Structure 1
């Protein structure tokens, strides 16, 4: 229930009002009678003044949480309006009532139905109200209900006026005679069987419905015992319930009993003990015929079972969306769309629907918001809800785009209807079928068709006899034939005479359900020229999986083959040049620190094929230990300065000898200016280094020879310039060899 603000007053504040009503012995029966007539679960006799609302007597079967002596803020109750106008208030369904749907009282206390009548004392003073409420709607439109309530309030007013002399209806014959007509009128107007039985099981009072049930007159029942009226067998079956009430405990039960006109009837019996000064004097009996109610409930249960079985076994998703607040149908469409997303939630569905979203059972998805499933930021979904509203809250075969538990796109075909009552949309029922697979397949087929139409490759299909059945624009561009020139013609129209057998073999493979992938061959154009093509051939199957033809993708690779041949020749010449010049190329990825070498470098370093592991560390280790740092410092400086580099370093040959290499290269940079890789060449300069060393030794021997000559010695070039002079010549000329 919604939050209430009841508060108990002190005994001195409320004892008079509560005690006055408590001394009226008919109050429990009145409260029970009101509950049974109205089918409402909270009934109260309330003292209502300008500043107070006090519960004097309470029947609470809905856990409203208010006991005798409890108080509500009078301004928050409808009883204050009854006090002001002294007129009854009847509400059957507050949330859809134009007059009360926005009233604060139903919202505050969470009630849907309400009926209250004023209790006016004999002197004209307003005492309070006899009031019934429930959180469920109730049928109160019958005039008999309101009239019964008025009679009960009149009875309470009389009892309150005479509380000093009226202690109990059934104990004092004098008081019974004064109020008998009114009590009789009230009880006879009620559909239930009402009686009063004393401790000796003797009837002291019965109403008209009671005598009519048994087909007897009042004098045939009153002052007789229950065994005499009901029979010993029936009495013994009821005695445990009666004795429980006579022990001071209220007893309510349901049973099947024989009816005098034949068959059995279902009844609900209520035995309320009549207690005075702590002593049970008898019981008030109220028996209500609930046969029709039972039949209806059983029919509803059977219908509900069939409905649940249908939903449980249906392969389609079945759902019910509720609205936390009903939506007025007179609002603009866009506002209704907004309110649907704000207040809509999944209240019920079957497991089939849950599985469509990737859940294992309905329990995993019930309670989801509308926006969780029908994504609100998708314009097509907003249009979907808008179409539902604009079509008078009914859509058939409507497609929706939603998300499953994993966030994947799902597509559903929906049939659903909204429930509108009194100008308000309350809920929607519907079914949905998952069409994601067919939707995706349809989209894929559309994309495939677009690819076939726009492809530069020739895409051709043929039947198992080798006749062409389809021909795209790419095929026309490649072979020069228009579609109407080749459709239903043999595929061999594209085959040079010397390759006809090849075409037949391809068809035999297709019949064996084999694919032909990237098969390079030659085909002939309409103008008679041959082209080199790459064929990919796949079987075409019907819905039963049987092969009915072949699909071919033909790519013209004539130019590529020419370029490949040229590249092959160029690569061969480059390889020859590199091998003859003892040169190899390499590439270093600065991000991954991996190195790619040409085969020539492996030969230069004396490694077996694959002997280099492709890492910067291995490259570094192959360099002579004394040259490593200087070489790499120069490379790093060149990278930082964005320039070429040239280095010379020694390396350890695979045979163990020390050889020389000249390295040249340059870094490549990203758009952000970061170096990403280095390309370089390595040249074996061992022979050059040896020649330079030999030349140096020769020059040193010549210099020593010239210096030891006894006379002057010098050398001039063909232009007469001195290129060498020994010490004797330098002394004789008086200048150094450098100046000469």
Structure 2
């Protein structure tokens, strides 16, 4: 019986079989690698905390389309093909079937303007999101904020799909909003305060409120960048150099000890005024600065001076001055009372009016004070008894202070 194949044919067939076996082995190895790669990808999607998703277009979109037509194309032909469990959870869905297969328009059916706005921004940014903040309504009916990253898949000047990832940043956005509200409240209090409030950094004013501008009679640009001693005379009332004294105050405060003191300031026009200054150190953006609260006490100082002069005049007047409580006990008498009645101030402060005023016995005091309340003042004659039991007649003027 003759051979079925010649030797060369047999050798060629054997080589072909070996080649096919090698190809089959490589194919098997490639399939295994692809399966392993797909498993790794699936594991990556499943265990990734970021929401990861993929859209495909039912018909590739030409990049040459007009802007508005591109948005409509994406809304109608952009279909969610894949989403990991994190993406489903972020948007309030329990299974992929609840979301996968829906178009952009279906996903944003609760408010298409939200979808339009996001796609409009995506196109304007070159079909890329590298940290786009987006507010979306979840399936649970709750609005959440997301940080979105999205890149297109482009072939032959057509977009065929896109890949994206997103993170829930709602807590961060709420914290930022709370911070903005806090800053707004602080700014309102800052600018509505009746005292000048200034922030000092590196010995210069870096911030001030509206009251500061009114107090120093200047514009904002005329005080920001200046030193506190620029608005001070060369020397303070105690004779110390203003610059030297101010630096000592700053050192005390930066050492952690708040400080309240009186200071002589100058308005921009050179007019001097007295102020009460409260210094404290505070933290702003991780930097220690000095907060100065300045209160103009010129009127108070002037009033104090006038009161001191009035008190001195009353004390040394030749007329008798009494300050009497409603229970008729004496609060204050001047020197003329002591000379006239022969009592010391200490003795008089333990007495009642009826003890020395013969015209105002104890039983008449209530009626007398009632008349003063009604009339405001009352002029009358009375007889005062001296310590040694002599008496004399005098004309009194009583006034009810209303306090």
Query: What is the TM-score of this pair, normalised by structure 1?
Result: 0.31
- Deviations for 1:679-706, whole angstroms, at most 9, x for unmatched residues? 42414x22x4303422431452354155
2:207 to 593, 597, 608: 597
2:277 maps to what in 1? 663
Q: Does 1:478 align with 2:90?
A: yes
Q: Would you say 1:635 and 2:250 are equivalent positions?
A: yes
Q: 2:300 aligns with which of 668, 677, 691?
A: 691
Q: 5 Å matches for 1:429-440?
A: none
1:124-273, aligned counterparts within 5 Å? Answer: none
CA distance in 1: counterparts of 2:272 and 2:109, whole angstroms = 61
Question: After the TM superposition, which of the residue ranges 560-569 and 478-487 deviates more from structure 2?
Answer: 560-569
Distance 1:624 1:533 in 2: 55
Secondary structure of 1:487's counterpart equals: coil
Distance 1:450 1:584 in 2: 59
Q: Which residue of 2 aligns with 1:619?
A: 228
* In 1, Cα distance between equivalents of 2:184 and 2:347: 51
Match status 1:608 vs 2:216: no
| Counterparts of 1:491 and 1:728, CA distance in 2 | 97
1:490 maps onto 2:83 in alignment? no
Q: Partners in 2 of 1:623 and 1:738 — Cα distance?
A: 49
Q: Would you say the 8 A contact 2:56–2:162 is kept in 1? A: yes
Q: CA deviation at 1:479?
A: 1.1
Distance in 1 separating the partners of 2:89 and 2:143: 13
Q: 1:702 to 1:609 in 2, by over 3 A?
A: closer
Q: Quick one: structure 1 residues 583 and 708, their matched pair in 2 at CA, closer, same or farther if it must change by over 3 Å? A: closer
Could you say if the C-alpha distance between residues 739 and 538 of structure 1 is closer, same or farther in structure 2, counting changes exceeding 3 Å? farther
> Alignment partner of 1:693: what SS?
helix
**Partner residue, 1:713:** 321
| Candidates 132, 142, 145, aligned match of 1:533 | 145
2:282–2:291 CA contact under 8 A, matched in 1? no
Report the Cα distance in structure 2 between the residues aligned to 1:458 and 1:610, rounded to whole angstroms: 49
Q: Say if 1:542 and 1:516 are closer, same or farther in 2 by CA, change over 3 A.
A: closer
Q: Which residue of 2 aligns with 1:700?
A: 309
Conservation of the 8 A alpha-carbon contact between 2:80 and 2:100: yes
**Residue in 1 aligned with 2:17?**
none
Give 1:436-585 correspondences, 5 Å limit: 454-455=48-49, 458-464=51-57, 465-482=77-94, 484-485=96-97, 486-498=99-111, 500-504=112-116, 506-507=118-119, 510=122, 513-515=126-128, 522-527=135-140, 529-534=141-146, 536=148, 538-541=150-153, 547-556=159-168, 558-559=170-171, 562-564=174-176, 566-583=178-195, 585=197
Q: Distance in 2 between matches of 1:573 and 1:668?
A: 18
SS in 2 for 1:497: coil
Give me the whole-angstrom Cα distance separating, in 2, the residues matched to 1:575 and 1:481. 42
Q: Which has the higher contact order (CA 8 A, sep 6+)?
A: 2
- In the alignment, is the contact (CA less than 8 A) between 2:135 and 2:143 conserved in 1? yes
Q: What are the superposed Cα offsets for residues 424-467 of structure 1, whole Å, 9 maximum, x if unpaired?
A: xxxxxxxxxxxxxxxxxxxxxx9xx9799544x54444234322
Asked if 1:682 is matched to 2:300, the reply is no
User: Structure 2 length normalisation: TM-score?
Assistant: 0.53
> Per-residue deviation at 1:656?
4.6
Gaps of 5+ in 1: 1-445, 670-674
CA distance in 2, matches of 1:468, 1:661: 69
SS of residue paired to 2:293 = strand
| Contact kept? 1:520, 1:533, Cα under 8 Å | yes
How many angstroms does 1:600 deviate by? Answer: 3.7
In the superposition, relative to structure 1, how do residues 460 and 606 fare at CA in structure 2: closer, same or farther (>3 Å)? farther
Change (3 A) 1:497 1:736: same
Given the alignment, which residue of 325, 335, 348 partners 1:727? 335
Partner of 2:395: none
Superposition pairs of residues 260-339 of structure 1, within 5 angstroms: none
CA 1:668–1:559: 2 relative to 1, 3 Å: closer
CA distance in 2, matches of 1:466, 1:737: 98
1:490-518 CA distances to partner (integer Å, 9 max, x unpaired)?
Answer: 244542522x1442454466467344576
Rate the CA distance shift 1:547–1:651 in 2: closer, same or farther, 3 A: farther
Compare CA radii of gyration and give the structure with the larger one: 1
* Closer, same or farther: CA 662–737 of 1 in aligned 2, 3 Å: same
Cα offset for 1:472? 4.3
Q: Once the two structures are superposed, what CA deviation does each residue of 1:43-64 show, in whole Å capped at 9, x if it has no partner?
A: xxxxxxxxxxxxxxxxxxxxxx
Q: Offset of 1:621 from its aligned partner?
A: 1.7
CA–CA distance in 2 between the matches of 1:450 and 1:610? 57
d(CA) in 1 for partners of 2:182, 2:291? 19
Number of matched pairs: 277
Give the drift of 1:738: 12
Q: 1:477 to 1:696 in 2, by over 3 A?
A: farther
Give the 3 Å change call, closer, same or farther, for CA 709–667 of structure 1 in structure 2: same
User: Does the CA-based 8 Å contact 1:516-1:535 persist in structure 2?
Assistant: no
CA contact (8 A) 1:496 1:522 kept: no
